[in-house]
Amino acid sequence: MSAMFAWQNEQGVLRQQALQLPELAVDEVQIAVHYAGVNRADVLQLAGQYAPPPGSSDILGLEVAGTVVACGAAVSQFGLGDSVCALLSGGGYASHVNVPAGQVAPIPAGLNMAQAGAICEVFATAWFNCFMLAQLQPGERLLVHAGASAVGQAAIQLARWQGIDCFVTVGSDEKLQHCLQLGASAGWNRQHGDFATAVKAWGGADVILDCVGGSYLASNQQVLNTDGRLLLIGLLGGRYAEVDMGLLLIKRQRLQGSTLRSQPTAIKAQIMAQLQQQLWPQFSSGQLTATIDTIYPFAAANQALMRLATNDTMGKLLLQVQ
């Protein structure tokens, strides 16, 4: 296998091209991609607002599911024909992708290939931020903004599994109902105004998973409890805001920015190992589920990205590659 086809970014529009496959490193697995997840980072990269980390593929796509077709000389945990899913730094919108073996995992028992293509990025993001960084504990309270997003739905399910109350903010009553059915304890439609009063009445938040940023910071600080942790994972509401340093001191609040994509390979391997150990059995038992909104044919990649940019999704968008 020396060639592949992939989507290339040409001035903000994707175009399919035939490309030479990169040489497989000794610690990498080559995957024939069946499904590629569509993520907010892809929309930003296409618009020129989110460059891939140095050394990463400039092809969009941060997660895939597919079949192993080659293994580097140092890889012993996978074999040809294995069905796997993988967390990427880029390169998923392609027929084939080379991935460090530590970022690859067998598909959880009971999940099909499409479902496996919908879990790596979102559950890695939710698990890494809420449980590895923020150290969210049973008995604490979690606030998730954009609760109906794929990451939001992953966080809701993880909170439910751990017995943690979860409050969500969403953009419609339909999305709110969906989140409540998925396991959220309570929520707020942002079309009805600021969320702060409702979250305070609910009991405040010990951890906030925030993809909005700027315009939400003041209210986030208001609802964050003593020793609360705010994990900022996106900037949908802007990159600038004023910090109330009085609240920061008095409540001992912790504000932390977090990006998964730029983490070193060793950290991504650690995350994937924890997902495989802790979460894969929960997928097999039905405790956790892949929440898929729509599966698009590979040729409709531009359409899928435009759909995600409108914020009208409730779950994962996937590209079916082969």
In terms of Cα–Cα distance, which of 75, 65, 78 is closest to 115? 65
Q: What is the pLDDT at residue 126?
A: 98
- What fold does the segment set 3-119+261-320 form as a domain? Quinone Oxidoreductase; Chain A, domain 1 (3.90.180)
Check: CB of residue 125 under 8 Å from CB of residue 233.
yes
The CA angle 149-14-258, to the nearest 5 degrees, is 40
Q: What is the pLDDT at residue 80?
A: 97
- What fold does the segment set 124-257 form as a domain? Rossmann fold (3.40.50)
* Predicted TM-score (pTM) of this structure: 0.95
Q: What is the pLDDT at residue 11?
A: 81
Q: 10 Å Cβ neighbour count for 139?
A: 10
Give Cβ neighbours of residue 107 (< 8 Å, ≥ 6 apart): 65, 83, 84, 85, 113, 116
Q: What is the pLDDT at residue 2?
A: 65
Where along the chain do its domains lie?
3-119+261-320, 124-257
Q: Which tokens sit at 176?
A: 């709110």
E-strand ranges in the chain read 3-10, 13-20, 28-38, 63-71, 83-87, 96-100, 104-106, 141-145, 165-170, 186-189, 205-210, 224-232, 254-257, 292-297, 316-320
In terms of Cα–Cα distance, which of 271, 259, 157, 253 is closest to 205? 253
pLDDT in tens, the chain (322 residues): 567 889 988 888 899 999 998 899 999 999 999 999 999 999 999 999 999 999 899 999 999 999 999 999 999 999 999 999 999 999 999 999 999 999 999 999 999 999 999 999 999 999 999 999 999 999 999 999 999 999 999 999 999 999 999 999 999 999 999 999 999 999 999 999 999 999 999 999 999 999 999 999 999 999 999 999 999 999 988 899 999 999 999 999 999 999 999 999 999 999 999 999 999 999 999 999 999 999 999 999 999 999 999 988 999 999 999 8
Q: What is the pLDDT at residue 285?
A: 97
Query: Is-same-fold flag (3-119+261-320; 124-257)?
Result: no
Check: CB of residue 141 under 8 Å from CB of residue 149.
no
Q: What is the pLDDT at residue 312?
A: 87
